[in-house]
Structure 1
Amino acid sequence: MQARVDIEAREANDGLSSGFRAALSNYYERRWLVLYLARRQLFAGYQGSFLGVAWAFLTPLLLVVLYTLIFSEIIGIRFRDVEGDNSLNFGLYLYCGLLPFLAFSEALNRSAAMIKSNSQYVKNLVFPTEVLPLSTTLGTLVDKLFGFVVLAGVLLFLEGRLNWTLVLVPVLMGLQMIFVLGLSYIFATLGALVPDIRSTLQAVVRVMFFATPIIWPVSQVPDHLSWVVTINPLAFLVEAYRGIVLEGTLPPLWHTGVFALFSVALLVGGLALFLKVKPRFADLV
């Protein structure tokens, strides 16, 4: 009896390890497919418009100007010191915090309906379903990269300088991609198994917005609530982006290492769950 259990456990482990190898192989061999799906998602919203892809830069530019005008000039909220003109601070502070959160929320909301909305691919036995979360996560991050390019241009125009740490934005986006991709695999799987997960996820994302220092600074958090920031990985991302883009400072090495290890573990666990349920996807759509 024990020997049978050992054999079944070994077969399950072999199946999972072979699934990981196949997934990694598909990432490389079907990289053209990942890029095609990501590009299609990225530019789908601009098709048919007069200005086309230019909206990828115009939309964030308009948002930055709007946030700066309303919150910094009219309301007068000031969270950071800007040499020569402190009125410039909150609009840029808010937008820089919104960019990583929007990439997170869009990828997760898309992932919850991913399997059902791509049933034509899922039912095709030769289609590598595991590339769908990867292409979606990549597309949302590249979309927000346009926003960081615009933010850098506005910073240069308004404050007359750029921080050298801006070159590290792609590194931080890489860590964010690992983190979000792990969550996308989890919620893509749950979305196929539990039809109501999308509504629940939207509520969770709203809670995460207010639990993340996007519209409030970490310095104003009472000591007895500081754990909310400590256990929130999005808080690390938001503060890291603000430090790199706006302040020219690097996130603490210890915090970065913990976030990286957590993200890798999340990706491995999420992909394992996805691969385990993958054979049932065709019957669930």
Structure 2
Amino acid sequence: MVDASMRAGLFISPWRHRELLFSMVQREVIGRYRGSIMGLLWSLLNPLFMLLVYTFVFSMMFKLRWPQGSGSKAEFALLVFAGLLVFNVFSECVTRAPNLIIANTNYVKKVVFPLEILPWVVLGSVLFHTLANLSIWLVFHLIFFGLPPLTALLLPAILLPLILFSMGVSWLLASLGVYLRDVSQVVGVVTSALMFVSAIFYPASAFPDAYQQLLHLNPLTQVIEQTRDVLFWGVLPDLFAWSCSLLFASAVAWLGFVWFQNTRKGFADVL
């Protein structure tokens, strides 16, 4: 049963516990590189290395090109990187979600601790690294193509449905991971497969016509395409498509949150 406090919690909980949330995000980001010589610099080097690998494999070995572009390797690299920015937000959130409660069992025993903010902590850490990756993208765009189009300012709005969708799935998986330990293995396989059917290394228009509708059933496809449109091509997003995506993502976030709040009562017994 969904009471008024639960309905409000989706929006109020992260704000009410914002100081705790910020502190945990900060600790998450710093702790990820604690003990390493290069520290936070790895947040820039890791995506840069992967960008070079993907660019070499797909643009040089497989000779892939964007139909509407100039065909340069720099262009291909930036378009792929834009897709990876989107995918990595979703991928890291959902792959960590199944073990999120299990890895924080000490919080489960604390009645006053707001367990529902744990997925927000992961998201905060992911968005920090996304900003670092975006800075790399902007530097390379400045070097090879100059200033990005003004439509790039719309990127936060484009990513909003992705963030809500990722949170909803994270709450669902965080709860399921407590009761079904195999969930993390399944999620790992699914996200790996999803990477190659999300129009990251190719435009959606390059997908065979017979499977176009199937490709667009993937909620990541539209966000990736719209991200490229605003960041690189200077094309305004389709307002109707964006609104539908936002409504769908909001519903997923709401359902995931309700599921989490209704199942959290059994966490202590299982753990």
Fold shared, TM-score > 0.5 on shorter chain? yes
Confirm or deny that 1:130 pairs with 2:116: yes
Question: What is the deviation of 1:73?
Answer: 5.3
Question: What is the deviation of 1:70?
Answer: 5.4
Question: What is the deviation of 1:18?
Answer: 2.2
- Give 1:5-24 correspondences, 5 Å limit: 12-13=1-2, 16-22=3-9, 24=11
Taking the aligned partners of 1:73 and 1:137, their CA distance within structure 2 comes to 34
Helix, strand or coil at the partner of 2:236 = coil
Taking the aligned partners of 1:118 and 1:232, their CA distance within structure 2 comes to 31
TM-score scaled to structure 1, two decimals?
0.87
Question: What is the deviation of 1:39?
Answer: 2.1
Match of 1:222 among 184, 208, 230: 208
Partner of 1:31: 18
- Tell whether the 8 Å contact from 1:34 to 1:135 is kept in structure 2 after alignment: yes
Taking the aligned partners of 2:200 and 2:175, their CA distance within structure 1 comes to 29
Partner of 1:210: 196
Taking the aligned partners of 1:67 and 1:221, their CA distance within structure 2 comes to 19
**Aligned-residue RMSD, C-alpha:** 2.0
Taking the aligned partners of 1:259 and 1:226, their CA distance within structure 2 comes to 17
Partner of 1:56: 43
TM-score scaled to structure 2, two decimals?
0.91
Taking the aligned partners of 1:258 and 1:187, their CA distance within structure 2 comes to 24
C-alpha offsets along residues 22-58 of structure 1, whole Å, 9 cap, x if unaligned?
4544322211111122222223222222232222233
- Tell whether the 8 Å contact from 2:93 to 2:166 is kept in structure 1 after alignment: yes
* Displaced runs of 4 or more, over 6 A: none
Partner of 1:96: 82
Aligned pairs, how many? 271
- C-alpha change, 1:20 and 1:134, in structure 2 (3 Å) is same
Q: Looking at CA atoms only, which structure, 1 or 2, has the larger radius of gyration?
A: 1
C-alpha offsets along residues 191-219 of structure 1, whole Å, 9 cap, x if unaligned?
11211111111122122222211123212
Taking the aligned partners of 1:133 and 1:105, their CA distance within structure 2 comes to 13
Partner of 1:6: none
Taking the aligned partners of 1:108 and 1:93, their CA distance within structure 2 comes to 24
- C-alpha change, 1:123 and 1:253, in structure 2 (3 Å) is same
More moved, 178-187 vs 73-82? 73-82
Taking the aligned partners of 1:73 and 1:226, their CA distance within structure 2 comes to 26
- C-alpha change, 1:87 and 1:109, in structure 2 (3 Å) is closer
C-alpha offsets along residues 100-148 of structure 1, whole Å, 9 cap, x if unaligned?
1112111101111111111011111110000001111222122112111
Partner of 2:168: 182
Taking the aligned partners of 1:56 and 1:210, their CA distance within structure 2 comes to 23
Taking the aligned partners of 1:187 and 1:74, their CA distance within structure 2 comes to 37
- Give 1:219-258 correspondences, 5 Å limit: 219-258=205-244
Taking the aligned partners of 2:38 and 2:109, their CA distance within structure 1 comes to 37
- Tell whether the 8 Å contact from 1:82 to 1:88 is kept in structure 2 after alignment: no
Taking the aligned partners of 1:199 and 1:55, their CA distance within structure 2 comes to 26
Helix, strand or coil at the partner of 1:130 = helix
Match of 1:259 among 235, 245, 249: 245
Taking the aligned partners of 1:78 and 1:120, their CA distance within structure 2 comes to 50
C-alpha offsets along residues 148-169 of structure 1, whole Å, 9 cap, x if unaligned?
1110110110122311112122
Name the aligned partner's letter for residue 178 of structure 2.
Answer: A
Confirm or deny that 1:114 pairs with 2:100: yes
Taking the aligned partners of 1:42 and 1:80, their CA distance within structure 2 comes to 38
Question: What is the deviation of 1:230?
Answer: 2.1
Match of 1:279 among 245, 265, 268: 265
Question: What is the deviation of 1:242?
Answer: 1.1
Confirm or deny that 1:141 pairs with 2:127: yes
Match of 2:33 among 46, 49, 62: 46
Partner of 1:154: 140
Match of 2:179 among 186, 193, 198: 193
Taking the aligned partners of 2:214 and 2:29, their CA distance within structure 1 comes to 33
Taking the aligned partners of 1:221 and 1:75, their CA distance within structure 2 comes to 16
Unpaired stretches in structure 1, ≥5 consecutive residues: 1-11
Higher RCO, Cα 8 Å, sep 6+:
2
